[in-house]
Amino acid sequence: MRPMSPKVKYRPPGALQILDEAVYLLRSGSGKLLPAYYIGSLPFVLGLLYFWADMSRAADASGYLGASSLGMALLFVWMKCWQSIFAIRTRDYILGQTVSAWTVRRVSDLIAVQTLVHASAFVVLPVAMVLVLPFGWCYAFYQNATAAPAADRSGFGATCRYAWRQAALSPRENHLLLAVWSLFSAAVLIDLALAVFMLPYLIKKFFGIETLFTLSGFNAVNTTFLAAVFSLAYLCLDPIVKTAYGLRCFHGESLATGTDIKTELYQCVSQQRSA
């Protein structure tokens, strides 16, 4: 356990520091980390866009709504499990550990825990957003449940306790992180919307190719267009926020275990040996 004086007050990493560490971590290990994220997220996002467009336009959509909804639920579970794998691999990368083997029991435990935890998010997060005040804690709870280091082994109850304990840690920094992230996400969302809207006009200008978008004008800005822009923003930004909350959990655990100091010492020794 890390020796700490009673007079020394712990100061957790600030929101900007956490985001900076998350971006650096993803840049340095993108080839090892990001494939696991997109293996899970891309099928869900593509399925969601198809589901959105099909349900809003097909005349007989109500006839197969139940089967399509079940398919989307399965894709959602698939995405959450792979996002948890992404968080576990990110933690292993921070600690300098090799990727551990995945057994049938470990996979089944991961599926069960992530399904049970995130099934309530569709109710809890909208209610928390309306109430405003508890949203920061609730959002952190679900992110921490994804990033829990032993969510694939410890069970549903232990994962929830871990996620809530980390969510209650440093609430000020958590809310600052959400505020900064909201402003950054809004800027990225606007940039993506303008890029997607202007791309067909640039193609027409330089190559003379007419498309449905250029012929439709502002009528192309419909619900499907907005869903596509939000989906692109999600795929670009969500790996960073997942990594940021994984780092928050890592720093929170280090208060009792000193894992951050051990990791820094391991990196120093490795650099000296390679020099």
| Higher per-residue confidence, 157 vs 44 | 44
Q: How confident is the model at residue 15 (pLDDT cuts 50, 70, 90)?
A: confident
* C-alpha pair distances (Å), 170 with each of 10, 160, 248, 265: 10, 18, 9, 25
Give me the numbers of helices (H) and strands (E) for the chain, helices first please: 11, 0
- Report pLDDT digits (tens) over 122-133: 999 999 999 888
Which pLDDT does position 247 carry in this prediction? 92
d(CA 272, CA 131): 52
| Higher per-residue confidence, 213 vs 241 | 241
Give the DSSP H or E segment for 177: helix 171-207
Mean pLDDT score, 116-145: 92
Would you state the structure tokens that stand for residue 222, as one six-digit string?
Answer: 């419909």
Mean pLDDT score, 51-58: 86
Model pTM score: 0.84
| Higher per-residue confidence, 156 vs 7 | 156
Enumerate the domain spans of the chain: 15-274
- Report pLDDT digits (tens) over 83-100: 999 999 998 888 877 777
**Is pLDDT above 50 for 182?**
yes
- Nearest 5°: the CA angle 262, 268, 274 is 135
| Higher per-residue confidence, 191 vs 4 | 191
| Higher per-residue confidence, 215 vs 175 | 175
**Is pLDDT above 70 for 135?**
yes
- Nearest 5°: the CA angle 217, 54, 40 is 105
Which pLDDT does position 238 carry in this prediction? 95
- Report pLDDT digits (tens) over 225-251: 889 999 999 999 999 999 999 999 888
Maximal CA-CA distance, the chain: 71
Residues 6+ apart with CB under 8 A from 55: 61, 65, 68
Which pLDDT does position 80 carry in this prediction? 95
Mean pLDDT score, 192-200: 87
Residues 6+ apart with CB under 8 A from 84: 110, 114, 146, 147, 148, 151, 152
Mean pLDDT score, 22-28: 91
| Higher per-residue confidence, 124 vs 152 | 124
CB 54 within 8 A of CB 47: no
**For all residues of the chain together, what is the average pLDDT?**
85
d(CA 60, CA 54): 10
Using CB atoms within 10 Å of the CB of residue 258, give its burial: 0 to 12 exposed, 13 to 18 middle, 19+ buried: middle
